[in-house]
Chain A
Amino acid sequence: MSNAKQSSGPPAIVGIVVGAALMFGGFWFSKNVKLEFIKTLEAQGIPLDPGKTISIIGVLLILFPVIKFFFIAPLAEAIQNRTTELERTFGEAENLRAEMTQMKQDYERRLVQTEADAREQIQSQIKEAQSLRQQMMAEASAKAEELKASAAREIETQKQQAIAELRHHVVELALQATEKLVEANVDDERNRKLVADFLETVEAPR
């Protein structure tokens, strides 16, 4: 299209000057020159006026450069500019698209990487939590065992203490019973029965 602006003929001013000369020359020719063969052509039904032809050649020589510079060159330039603008816009759009595709790929890659990192981190946290849980459970178990042992020792101590106290009470009771027996002064049969009943009462809780 840009070629349309290139000069493909002689200088425009030459064409315009020659054209103007031919226009007037044609008029003069048409009015003053009568050619014999033209009359013959007219007689045969072919209406030819060389004067008009010369004038028209002059008009065309003027019109071609004038129309070209008045309208066709600006039109061609506008079309060319628009085409360039469109190509530039399409180029920009294509670049943006490529950039977007690249960004999308980067984003997807980063997303995959982030997901992998997150998964890895979660797994690591789970493992750590499990380890911590096991450690805490072990500690709790050890503590429980310790408490259990401490409780058993306490129970044993309390038991021994209770047994000692019980023995002490039994002795006391036996002494009291004996004392009562002695004070009552009853017969042997009755003593025995009393002792036996007492012992039954003492042993019953066992």
Chain B
Amino acid sequence: MGDWITQSSQLIASVEEPHGADSHGGDHGDGHAWVSWEGLLVYVAIVVGTLFVLMAQAKKGLNNRFFTNKLTQLFEQVYLFIENMCVGTIGAHGRRYVPMIMTMWMLVFSGNLLALFFPTSPTADLSFNLGLALVSVAYVQYEGIRANGLFGHLGHFAGPKLGGFLALLISPIIFVIEVVSELMKNVSLSLRLFGNIDGGHRAAEAMNTLGAGIYVPFGAFLLPIKLLTVVVQAMIFCLLTAVYLSLVTHHDDDHGHGHEAEAGHAEVAPAH
């Protein structure tokens, strides 16, 4: 047990190691450290382990009556929150996506929360966030194909149905733009989360450096706003996934309407 803790500590500490030739962990030139593959594994293990311990405790309180276990009540509220978000965004069929989006929310939220107590966290790592985003967008595509069929889903990328010459001229352009847009969703989702969580760390570090001379951890004053970021970023990630699911699983003929909604979210997103 002691050895395991020591090894784990070393893995976490690897975040502080310089950028080695055979490792991607370390310092990338601006004094800010980032986590290695093994370090990320430990952080993910902490997140997943904590989640499973909490879920196991909450599971004990499940019954067909009133949940008296506080932890079960908490998870119930999370479930209902995610369900409301899915139904509100996607529609009545949004309930089927609740397990996926709730899992995503718990991972992102726990990862973000870890960032408040540790030098770094899984969600402060772009690679982790890109993995999350790729899974999210791939799932959206899978559901789109399931809902509309392969050609129906691809046809969705071509925009509104045009006739004659316009179809030959404009539809391919829209198709390319839409494909690029789909690919950019990965970048958008991952960079937003990475920027907010890693940015929080950097800001705290910078402010701590500022107060190092007088032994005042100015970075601690950022805790309330970091706490807000923890909640908001987890919600945004899941909300955007729900919006993407909504766009590909709605069977309306008004393609333009869906894209307007998407554009609206794209405009709002950078503000976070």
Contact = CB atoms under 8 A, between A and B. Distances in A.
A82 B99 CA distance: 18
B187 to A, nearest CB: 10
A182 interface: no
B59 A56 contact: no
Interface in A38-54: 38, 42-43, 45-54
B132 A79 contact: no
A30 B38 CA distance: 10
Interface residues of B, number: 51
A52 B24 contact: yes
Given A4-B96, A59-B44, A71 B55 contact: yes
Interface residues of A, number: 46
A56 B131 contact: yes
A54 B131 contact: yes
Contact of A27 (B37, B55, B63, B83): B37
Interface string B49-84: 001100100110011111100001001100110010
Contacts of A4: 83, 95-96, 98-99
B128 interface: yes
A63 interface: yes
B126 interface: yes
Given A52-B125, A75-B62, A47 B44 contact: no
Given A3-B93, A8-B96, A47 B125 contact: yes
Contacts, number: 141
Contacts of B52: 70
B55 A9 contact: no
Contact of B131 (A53, A72, A78): A53
A67 B127 contact: no
Interface in A78-100: 78-79, 81-82, 85
Contact of B130 (A48, A61, A76, A78): A48
A54 B143 CA distance: 21
Nearest to B143: A8
Majority secondary structure of chain B interface residues (helix, strand, loop or mixed): helix
A6 B34 contact: no
A70 B106 CA distance: 14
B27 to A, nearest CB: 10
B135 interface: yes
A170 interface: no
B175 interface: no
Contacts of A82: 63-67
A2 to B, nearest CB: 8
Contact of A75 (B28, B41, B76, B97): B76
Contact of B135 (A2, A57, A70, A78): A57
Given A75-B75, A82-B63, 16 more contacts: A4-B98, A8-B143, A30-B37, A43-B29, A47-B125, A50-B127, A51-B37, A55-B40, A56-B44, A57-B134, A67-B55, A67-B99, A70-B52, A75-B76, A79-B80, A82-B67
Interface of B: 22, 24, 28-30, 34, 37, 40-41, 44, 48, 51-52, 55, 58-59, 62-67, 72, 75-76, 79-80, 83, 93, 95-100, 102-103, 106-107, 125-128, 130-132, 134-135, 139, 142-143
Interface of A: 1-4, 6, 8-9, 26-27, 30-31, 38, 42-43, 45-57, 59-61, 63-64, 67-68, 70-76, 78-79, 81-82, 85
16 contacts: A4-B98, A47-B28, A47-B34, A52-B40, A52-B128, A55-B40, A55-B131, A56-B127, A56-B132, A59-B48, A61-B135, A75-B62, A76-B98, A78-B62, A82-B65, A85-B65
